[in-house]
């Protein structure tokens, strides 16, 4: 079913106000939850909202908390999220990284003791909307085996790289697992085969069977050994720069709370010449002959704009069962 954007936003806000968020915090948090749904990132929005509410009730997410600065060295800052809502902390820290880059060309904010930021790409869009290049990443609970190993010891540590562009920002939003657990469950429940290998079965063979992969817990990192290494260094960067919890520590606590994140901003020369360089790259990429007759080549973020437009026109798609759950909170 679909729900108008405004209704989605106001329902989220109603729930957040009942959980002791201030008017201002409830408004911002509800807006970003609604925007994430509007942009089609269903696995990380509405589906996550009931869990978010649970985390607040368990005291893992603190509605009243504000981020506080712990250390600063030039344009590199460490902030403590004080276990506040991940969305609000991340939004704040990207805004701070934007400020640093506006005055110094480049800025970096490392954030510890924060919570799940929901849709990673949201903070890339935030930087790009401000006309800046944004790079951010987070660590997570362990959900991927390192290359050569059987047990999950790495997070899927989403990485975002955003470049501002006049006719639609380019925003890469990629987790290190080839498919998220949410996506695998979707394929499993629909009894559908994955289009490409997403992990291993219990015999150590590459598999397109989501149920087998969920069973073995051997989800594939992007690029096999390469993604495994990338996930590890992103965790190292987030932990070392923020002096916060690593994937190891987060996993020990069993609940994904108190994670570490990094926000980097750079101020590009937003001239007509830069626009031309960007268009040259995108249009060249699109000259590749499509693999399938009706197919085409997209840049990261291109489909988001299309979904956004459709959502605002026809309403935002929501899973009926979860929506009912939200209405009942």
Q: Which residues are catalytic?
A: 44
CA distance linking residue 85 with residue 90, whole number of Å: 9
Could you tell me the end-to-end alpha-carbon distance of the chain, in angstroms, rounded to an integer? 19
Q: Interface with a second copy includes 296 (CB under 8 A)?
A: yes
Residue number, 41 or 46, with CB nearest to a second copy: 41
Q: Smallest distance, Å, CB 242 to a second copy?
A: 10
From residue 239 to residue 268, what is the string marking binding to a second copy with x (rule CB under 8 A)? xxx-x--xxxx-x------------x-xxx
Residue number, 83 or 144, with CB nearest to a second copy: 144
Q: Smallest distance, Å, CB 78 to a second copy?
A: 8
Q: Which two structure tokens, joined as six digits, stand for 176?
A: 């290190």
From residue 108 to residue 147, what is the string marking binding to a second copy with x (rule CB under 8 A)? x------------------------x-----------xxx
Q: Which two structure tokens, joined as six digits, stand for 226?
A: 């390469």
Q: Is the dihedral of CA 23, 24, 29, 35 positive or negative?
A: positive
Residue number, 75 or 207, with CB nearest to a second copy: 75
Q: In 3-state terms, what secondary structure has residue 163?
A: strand
In the window 42-71, what residues touch a second copy (CB under 8 A)? Answer: 71
> Under 8 Å CB-to-CB from 276, ≥6 apart: which residues?
none
CA distance linking residue 33 with residue 116, whole number of Å: 12
From residue 71 to residue 110, what is the string marking binding to a second copy with x (rule CB under 8 A)? xxxxxxx-----------------------x-xxxxxx--
CA distance linking residue 77 with residue 262, whole number of Å: 10
Question: What one-character DSSP code corresponds to residue 146?
Answer: P
Size of the site for a second copy (CB under 8 A): 85
Angle, vertex CA 177, rays to CA 172 and CA 179, nearest 5? 90
Selected binder of a second copy within 24, 254, 291, 293 (CB under 8 A)? 291
In the window 192-211, what residues touch a second copy (CB under 8 A)? Answer: 196-197, 204, 206
Residue number, 281 or 312, with CB nearest to a second copy: 281
Q: Smallest distance, Å, CB 173 to a second copy?
A: 9
Question: What one-character DSSP code corresponds to residue 289?
Answer: P
Report the residue count for the chain. Answer: 329
> Under 8 Å CB-to-CB from 236, ≥6 apart: which residues?
246
Residue number, 289 or 313, with CB nearest to a second copy: 289
Q: Smallest distance, Å, CB 93 to a second copy?
A: 14
326 to 58, 107, 157, 238, 246: CA distances (angstroms): 18, 38, 27, 33, 32
Residue number, 1 or 196, with CB nearest to a second copy: 196
In the window 212-241, what residues touch a second copy (CB under 8 A)? Answer: 221-224, 226-227, 229-230, 232-237, 239-241
């Amino acid at each position: 079913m679909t729900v108008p954007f405004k209704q989605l936003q106001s329902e989220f806000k109603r729930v957040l106000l009942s959980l002791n968020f201030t008017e201002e915090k409830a408004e911002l948090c509800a807006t970003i939850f609604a925007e994430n749904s509007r942009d089609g990132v269903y696995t990380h929005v509405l589906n996550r909202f009931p869990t978010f509410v649970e985390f607040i009730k368990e005291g893992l997410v603190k509605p009243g908390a504000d981020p506080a600065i712990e250390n600063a060295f030039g344009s590199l800052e460490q902030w403590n999220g004080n276990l506040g809502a991940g969305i609000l902390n991340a939004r704040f820290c990207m805004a701070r990284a934007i400020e640093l880059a506006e005055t110094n060309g480049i800025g970096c904010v490392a954030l510890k003791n924060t919570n799940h930021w929901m849709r990673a790409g949201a903070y890339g869009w935030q930087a790009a909307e401000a006309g800046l290049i944004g790079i951010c990443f987070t660590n997570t609970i362990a959900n991927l085996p390192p290359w050569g190993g059987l047990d999950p010891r790495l997070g899927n540590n989403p990485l975002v790289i955003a470049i501002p562009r006049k006719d639609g920002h380019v925003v890469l939003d990629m987790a290190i697992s080839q498919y998220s657990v949410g996506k695998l469950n979707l394929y499993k429940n629909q009894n559908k085969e994955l289009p490409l290998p997403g992990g291993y079965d219990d015999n150590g063979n590459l598999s397109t069977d989501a149920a087998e992969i969920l069973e073995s817990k051997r989800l594939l990192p992007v690029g096999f050994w390469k993604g495994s290494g990338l996930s590890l260094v992103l965790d190292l960067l987030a932990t070392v720069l923020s002096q916060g919890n690593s994937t190891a520590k987060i996993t020990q606590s069993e609940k994904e709370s108190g994670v570490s994140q990094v926000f980097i901003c750079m101020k590009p020369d937003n001239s007509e010449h830069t626009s031309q360089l960007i268009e040259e790259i995108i249009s060249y990429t699109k000259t590749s002959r499509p693999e399938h007759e009706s197919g085409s080549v997209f840049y990261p973020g291109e489909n988001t704009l299309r979904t956004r437009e459709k959502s605002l026109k026809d309403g935002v798609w929501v899973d009926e069962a979860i929506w009912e759950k939200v209405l009942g909170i």
